[in-house]
């Protein structure tokens, strides 16, 4: 089995980022000069994925516009001789085969993933990259998980340790270590209390999932927060086949909230070839004054 498809769920009202998300889907907010969704698609493409299914809310038009070709803009760039910019924007439209699916009702992450079922074969595994989670790493995060999948042919959940005080924000896994970074999953729980959390290994928005998950999701009842939870479906899957979690390398940002989005912006601006150097000097100057 090879991983050739990715699902990127981006539906949700973006309430942590109001008021801008009243008019713009949260994954269209820029991190330096590209929308957050660009980094996710790029991560998938750089991991060998050719087909991407984006699950949107009712506001998919800006996303479609971003990935579709714009003949008018292309002609303008040709006529004005801006051929480097022309190349750049044409590349965006040819990155991958992208399908958009509207999640008619916001019933939870599990339901969003279920909306991708018609794109998957019976015996297949696919990648999932959550729209709010941007990971900056040397090797793309999903590529790290695909490598593990290639060895085990089992579902793999991307995790990292978080402080105990933060476990209630995440799906938490526990199990026993196979290697330093690989844990065979024993249990999974969505957003546990600090006191009852089985570990502090948090699911951070990257998965490789076997397509059998769709049969489970079809029958799943709402869990935490009254939503159909992907974590609950994975817990069911773990009863019939092996599921692993992998402590990936890289920095994960929750770009669905203001602080996380700003941290990602600063990290990626510092790495930017055109502004990185000047921006670093500016930050040094800013932080050396007590304000
Ligand atoms: C979702 C998942 C959760 C995971 C988190 C990572 O929660 O349900 O298991 O830990 O994403 O960002 P959400 O943040 O959508 O509530």
Q: Which of 231, 256, 258 is nearest to 245 (CA)?
A: 231
* Per-residue pLDDT tens over the stretch 62-80: 999 999 999 999 999 999 9
According to DSSP, the residues that pair with 166 across neighbouring strands are: none
CA distances from 126 to 106, 159, 203, 286 (A): 22, 17, 17, 44
What is the Cα–Cα distance from 255 to 26, expressed in whole angstroms?
9
> Structure pTM?
0.95
Backbone torsions φ then ψ of 104, nearest 5 degrees: -65, -40
Residue to substitute in 10, 109, 157, 207 for testing ligand 1 pocket (most ligand atoms within 8 angstroms of CB): 109
Domain boundaries, the chain: 5-256, 257-291
Assess contact for 267 and 136: CB atoms under 8 A: yes
Q: Which atom of ligand 1 is nearest to the CA of 12?
A: 15
* Per-residue pLDDT tens over the stretch 27-60: 999 999 999 999 999 999 999 999 999 999 888 8
What is the Cα–Cα distance from 62 to 70, expressed in whole angstroms?
12
- CATH superfamily, domain at 5-256: Spore Coat Polysaccharide Biosynthesis Protein SpsA; Chain A (3.90.550.10)
With 0-12 CB in 10 A as exposed, 13-18 as middle and 19+ as buried, what is 168? middle
Residue 13: pLDDT band by 50, 70, 90 thresholds? Answer: confident
Q: What is the pLDDT, as a whole number, of residue 241? A: 96
Which tokens belong to 83? 């051929």
* Ligand 1 close to Cβ of residue 7 (< 6 A): no
pLDDT exceeds 80 at position 184: yes
Going by the DSSP 8-state scheme, the letter that residue 270 receives in this structure is H
Q: Is 147 strand, coil or helix? A: helix
What is the Cα–Cα distance from 126 to 138, expressed in whole angstroms?
22
- Angle, nearest 10°, between helix axes 83-94 and 71-79? 160
Going by the DSSP 8-state scheme, the letter that residue 257 receives in this structure is S
What is the Cα–Cα distance from 255 to 181, expressed in whole angstroms?
25
* Ligand 1 close to Cβ of residue 204 (< 6 A): yes
* Ligand 1 close to Cβ of residue 159 (< 6 A): no
Those residues with Cβ within 8 angstroms of residue 195's Cβ, 6 or more apart along the chain or in another chain: none
């Amino acid at each position: 089995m090879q991983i050739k498809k990715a699902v990127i769920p981006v539906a949700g009202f973006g309430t942590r980022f109001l008021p801008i998300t009243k008019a713009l889907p949260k994954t269209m907010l820029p991190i330096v000069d590209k929308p957050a969704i660009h980094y996710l698609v790029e991560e998938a493409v750089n991991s060998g994925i050719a087909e991407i299914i984006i699950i949107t809310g009712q506001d998919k038009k800006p996303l479609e516009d971003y990935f579709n070709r714009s003949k008018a803009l292309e002609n303008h760039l040709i006529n004005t001789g801006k051929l480097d910019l022309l190349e750049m924007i044409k590349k965006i439209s040819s990155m991958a085969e992208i399908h958009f699916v509207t999640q008619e009702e916001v019933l939870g992450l599990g339901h969003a993933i279920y909306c991708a079922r018609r794109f998957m074969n019976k015996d297949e595994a696919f990648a999932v990259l959550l729209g709010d989670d941007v990971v900056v790493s040397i090797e793309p995060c999903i590529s790290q998980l695909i490598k593990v999948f290639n060895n085990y042919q089992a579902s793999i959940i991307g995790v990292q340790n978080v402080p105990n005080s933060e476990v209630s924000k995440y799906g938490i896994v526990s199990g026993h270590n196979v290697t330093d970074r690989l844990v065979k999953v024993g249990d999974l729980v969505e957003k546990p209390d600090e006191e009852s959390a089985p570990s502090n290994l948090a699911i951070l928005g990257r998965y490789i999932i076997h397509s059998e998950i769709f049969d489970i999701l079809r029958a799943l009842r709402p869990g935490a927060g009254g939503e159909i939870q992907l974590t609950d479906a994975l817990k069911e899957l773990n009863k019939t086949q092996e599921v692993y979690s992998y402590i990936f390398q890289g920095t994960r940002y929750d770009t669905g909230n203001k602080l996380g989005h700003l941290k990602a912006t600063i990290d990626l601006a510092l790495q930017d070839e055109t502004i990185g150097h000047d921006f670093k000097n500016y930050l040094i100057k800013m932080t050396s004054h007590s304000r």
